[in-house]
Amino acid sequence: MNLNLKGRKAIVCGASKGLGRACALALAEEGVDLVINARNAEVLAQTAAELRQQTGVSVQAVAADITTEAGRKAVLAACPGPDILVTNAGGPPPGDFHAWDEQTWHAALDANMLTPIFLIKAVVDGMRERGFGRIVNITSSAVKAPISILGLSNGARSGLTGFVAGLARETVVDNVTINNLLPGSFETDRLTSTLESYAQKLGTTAAQVRQQQMQANPAGRFGDPSEFGAMCAFLCGTQAGFITGQNLLLDGGDYPGTF
């Protein structure tokens, strides 16, 4: 399927590794020019070089903390009028809610709710004027089914989800869609550290938790980031203009509900 994205411009945040990187690669394979972002400049530059080499598109790397105003400014300055925005940042730390003070909650809200909202605010009007825009927020399956040790994620991401549900229905008339992609368990660094936290809590090893969780998933495995990237690219394609305000779960069937 040709997604008709050749020559479009995308900002992909949190894109040096994992799911963000997979989204960037899938878009680049469709001929989309990229501005990619992450904090570690060296790892980001390496990813940018690999994406250029693999796909031949233009890739600009902006090393910055996207959860800060200065970071968002730097990324937007590199691409003030994107056709596509993929929001992403690291997830909040796991833990027990008794230990989380106001500062911890504010950090989670900044990273996983307010940062995507401020980025959307900066680009959405231009997209509407130009008659094309695709915004994809990487959130979490925790939005549909809370994850016990990730209370900060359960809470902060639900705020973003509620906001997007409203705005997505206003922008679609101008061919600007906003959707959320909800990852279940995907093979990334983030998953490895989450498994380690579970293992500590349960007094077992990360390898054992990994095995148990894979077996418990109807697919019998974790997801491959390329599967996530492909869905992101499809949502950005011209054919997906009638899909907006949705929360699309990619979890191998792990969530047990009919709807």
Footprint on residues 91-110 left by ligand NAP (CB under 6 A): 91
- For residues 140 and 158, which CB has a smaller minimum distance to ligand NAP in the complex? 140
Q: What is the closest distance, in whole angstroms, from the C-beta atom of residue 241 to ligand NAP in the complex?
A: 25
The rounded distance, in Å, linking the Cα atoms of 189 and 108 is 19
Q: Which residues ranging from 20 to 39 are in contact with ligand NAP (CB under 6 A)?
A: 20, 37-39
Helices 115-130 and 151-171, packing angle to 10 deg: 20
Query: How far is Cα 72 from Cα 184, in angstroms, rounded to an integer?
Result: 27
Shortest CB 48 distance to ligand NAP, Å: 12
Our CB check for ligand NAP shows the closer of 13 and 27 to be 13
Alpha helices, H only, the chain: 18-29, 41-55, 69-78, 102-109, 115-130, 151-171, 189-202, 206-216, 225-236
**Strand 247-250 relative to strand 33-38, pairing:** unpaired
Q: Which of 57, 61, 89, 178 binds ligand NAP (CB under 6 A)?
A: 89
DSSP 8-state secondary structure symbol assigned to residue 204: S
Q: Which is nearer to ligand NAP, 200 or 217 (CB)?
A: 217
- Smallest separation (angstroms) from ligand NAP to the CB of 73: 13
- Of the candidate spans 12-20, 51-59, 159-167, 235-243, the one that interacts with ligand NAP by CB under 6 A turns out to be 12-20
